[in-house]
Amino acid sequence: MRDHIIKELKDHDRVSGEQLARKLNISRTAVWKHVKELRRMGYVIESHPRYGYALLKSTDLLVPEEVNFKLNTRVIGSHILHLSEVASTQNIADKMASEGAAEGTCVIAEKQTSGRGRMGRNWASPFKDGVYISVILRPNLKPVHIIQIPLVAGVALVRAIRKTTDLSPGIKWPNDILIEGRKVAGILTEVNCDIDTVHYIVLGMGINVNTRQTALPEEVKDIATSLSQECGREVNRVGFLKQLLSELESVYDEFVTDGFQSIGKQWMQYNNTIGSLVTVNDGQSILEGKAVGIDDDGFLLVQTADGQTQRVISADVSLR
């Protein structure tokens, strides 16, 4: 019902409570209760005893009514579940995917209480500061190639940041998005597959959009940043998210249609890893060397001191 009220308010400068009540076939008291709830959600709605209601300002919450408004995607974002607070958007999206949710379905939360990063790490997700989203993908992909998905997402993220700010982030292999060496966004690729086929992927992205340094946990304060901190102004989350969904669809379409090669080239253009000295920790051993490229599959190639080139399948890479 609330989305109908918002639509009416967006379509008209002013609508009276009586008009709304008649149109939506509810009582004027019900209209008033919905308006109160919309205000609570962040919509600024003026009410005038004579001229009725007017929408002065939309909410800055990532509600479907806002995100879908003039969104230019075909698949990504075609279904959106918006939650004020959740343990992890990944868990919800995984459950939906296992029950058959369509490709492009998004779960978006204003806050995560147990936001996950890679390797069981935490992803700080303070209320309304960042964008925390899980997207269900169903690519026709061999499990040995799942490393390509975070590279695809990384390219989309960099493009979205470049188009909505004047920032030029770099990608640390495989998918950390860095500005001046500090992490501004992370990608978590969770996969359900058998040995032949990927059934579905839940692509999680956490972006520090307007996150204040003070809202970050002590242990990441020195290594994390946000878009607003870097560009010195508040960034519109709805606008950024719409740009991200649009870029993701574009890059993902290209990946599905033409394969990884052209995405790999774009990734190379944005990356900050190739040419650097790196340390790779796979949990059992440590490899040091120079990152010299990625192979056709998307894996990092590291040249060690003895001149040999090794293919890195562990994603825990630090730049030295």
- Based on the shown chain and the rule CB under 8 A, indicate whether residue 301 belongs to the binding site for a second copy: no
Q: If 0-12 CB within 10 Å is exposed, 13-18 middle and 19+ buried, where does residue 87 land?
A: middle
State the minimum distance, in angstroms, from the CB of residue 204 to a second copy: 9
Site string for a second copy, 196-215 (x = CB under 8 A): xx-x----------------
CA–CA distance, 183 with 219 (Å, rounded to integer): 13
Positive or negative, the CA dihedral 111, 112, 113, 119 is negative
- What are the backbone angles phi and psi of residue 6, rounded to the nearest 5°? -60, -40
Distance of alpha carbon 207 from the chain centroid? 6
- Based on the shown chain and the rule CB under 8 A, indicate whether residue 181 belongs to the binding site for a second copy: no
- Based on the shown chain and the rule CB under 8 A, indicate whether residue 192 belongs to the binding site for a second copy: yes
Q: Select the span of 19-27, 137-145, 164-172, 243-251 touching a second copy (CB under 8 A).
A: 137-145
- Choose, by CB under 8 A, the member of 119, 223, 277, 286 that binds a second copy: 119
Q: Which residue, 189 or 246, has its beta carbon nearer to a second copy?
A: 189
Site string for a second copy, 92-111 (x = CB under 8 A): --x---x-------------
The site that binds a second copy (CB under 8 A) totals a number of residues, namely 30
Q: Which residue, 173 or 240, has its beta carbon nearer to a second copy?
A: 173
What is the signed CA dihedral for 281, 311, 136, 61, rounded to 10 degrees? 50
- Based on the shown chain and the rule CB under 8 A, indicate whether residue 313 belongs to the binding site for a second copy: yes
- What are the backbone angles phi and psi of residue 117, rounded to the nearest 5°? -110, -170
Q: What angle do CA 260, 264, 162 make, to 5 degrees?
A: 120
State the minimum distance, in angstroms, from the CB of residue 115 to a second copy: 14
Q: Which residues pair with 53 in a beta bridge?
A: 15, 47
Interface residues toward a second copy, by CB under 8 A = 94, 98, 118-119, 140, 142-144, 146-147, 149-150, 174, 188-197, 199, 282-283, 313-316
